[in-house]
Amino acid sequence: MPYDLNGRPEQRTRLGRLLGRLSARTVEELTPGHPGLVPVAESGDDAAASSSVLDAAEGFDPEAQSVLRHVLQLPPGEVDEVLRLVAQDRYERVAPDGAGTPGPEGLETVAVARVQKVDALHVSQERSRMAGVTARHGGRAVLWQVLQIPA
């Protein structure tokens, strides 16, 4: 199922659903844990503009479905609450996969991700959302990544 820029399932028209059923090809559902995903854009620099990072990313396809992953560092006692809050926006916990740096003593490194189409505006909004949620719980957002299946 395709997702929009806000990570919500796209609503298809009746004709689109009918044509989808009649189509002989099957489209594999993209999930945050899909084994074929590779990072095509990422930044751990709070000052870097999302548009600059995405423009500089050679393998990034703005029309493709993507996974937006955020790596967070949180106090262990706040992890469940932060995961509960970001789950409201369809984020799920995923393995950090070596992304990010080890957290300062006392902070746990957590990665969350969701499937969505990606553009600079929405990446910036999500970066801000993650920075706010983590700051309110004594942590910080350390890295964001866009992952796609190579063409």
According to the 3-state scheme, what is the secondary structure of the chain?
Answer: CCECCCCCECCCCHHHHHHHHHCCCCCCCCCCCCCCCEEEEEECCCCCCHHHHHHHCCCCCCCCCEEEEEEEEECHHHHHHHHHHHHCCCCEEECCCCCCCCCCCCCEEEEEEEEECCCHHHHHHHHHHHHHHHHHCCCEEEEEEEEECCC
pLDDT per residue as tens digits for the range 6-33: 666 666 676 666 666 665 444 568 999 9
Q: Which domains does the chain have, with CATH numbers?
A: 14-148 (3.30.70.970)
For the ranges 84-93, 101-110, 130-139, the lowest mean pLDDT is seen at: 101-110
Give the per-residue pLDDT at 26.
Answer: 45
Predicted TM-score (pTM) above 0.95: no
Contacts of 53 (CB under 8 A, 6+ apart): 41, 42, 43
